Amino acid sequence: MENDIAGQPDQKTQNLQPTLQDPTTKHPKPPFERQFQPFPGLVSKMIPVPDHGEKSYKGSGRLQGRKALITGGDSGIGRAAAIAYAREGADVAINYLPDEESDAQEVVKLIEEAGRKAIAIPGDLRDESFCKKLILKAVEELGGLDILVNNAGHQKTHETILDISTEEFDRTMKTNIYAPFWLIKAALPYLKPGSSIIGLSSVQAYDPSEDLYDYAQTKAATTSYVKSLAKQLGPKGIRVNGVAPGPVWTALEISGGQTQENIEKFGGDTPLGRPGQPAELASIFVQLADNDGSFASGQIYGSAGGSGQP
């Protein structure tokens, strides 16, 4: 072939070559501007605004006709999962706190623009009765349920255990541990073989920071419940997996999840030299819900920029 000189591909082949992206420069790196928002924080006010895949995620029908409920689906990793699920063909219900309504409505619009049904269900997951109502409403509005993503979490930094009040400790435990327990119990009667439950763990489960005493405990517990529940539900054909992010640029961090000093250098200690963006985890949530991932259960998928476990 005349154009194939010295083993080089011809022009037609070159046009088909993938465009490589350097992960160290793909997204913003520290230093970041110090910033604080009252809990729970809004992504629209963050500097820089996180990338949830609003413009970049392209679906291919991997979750066509599926029905998903994502807690904390208004922002951060939950928002990225919601966008990806919708563009893969799923109808999506999102839960969030009432203070996050403006962020939630942006997600609703993105889901609907993908041609899928979007259900917005505000409410506090610390209330067992609300968790039961959340599942019932999602099932009713979606016409069923086969993907449950327990993404919502509460994180506050405290220099010492002496600074953590019982009320604050209770909020972290209720949001991160009790709520998934209540939600899974309420959802199980509706989950058929092939359904998927996904929990949000963290590198904090394996290498806890000294100032995240209570939050880190909940992520270790999440890792444990994923593995335990996978054994319990495997014979029923229901898969249970978890995702363990490293530092990811979300509203959780700037609303008390990190100190201002840590915000400024956030993610800079990873081998990639930056924090992750929520969009970079979206495909993991798709894979764990997809029928193609049918042998993955009881697994914790890490995404930490070169550090952390597993």
| CA-atom Rg of the chain in angstroms | 20
Q: 56 — phi, psi (to 5°)?
A: -100, -30
In one letter, which amino acid is 270? T
For CA atoms 262, 266, 272, 273, give the dihedral sign.
negative
Pick from 162, 145, 28: nearest CA to 95: 145
Q: Which of 187, 186, 164, 183 is nearest to 175 (CA)?
A: 183
Q: Are the C-beta atoms of residues 264 and 32 closer than 8 Å to each other?
A: yes
Q: What are phi and psi of 190, to 5 degrees?
A: -100, -10
Token pair for residue 110? 């993105």
Whether 225 is catalytic is no
Q: In 3-state terms, the chain is what percent helix, strand and coil (to 5)?
A: 45, 10, 45
- Run of H or E residues at 300: strand 300-303
CB atoms closer than 10 angstroms to residue 28: 16
CB under 8 A, 24+ apart: contacts of 222-229: 222/150, 222/176, 222/177, 222/180, 223/300, 225/180, 225/181, 225/199, 226/199, 226/201, 226/298, 226/299, 226/300, 227/298, 227/300, 229/184, 229/197
Determine which one of 85, 96, 215, 225 is catalytic: 215
How far apart CA 266 and CA 258 sit, in angstroms, is: 9
Strand ranges, E, within 83-230: 91-96, 118-122, 147-150, 196-200
Residue with tokens 């099932």: 139
> What residues act catalytically?
215
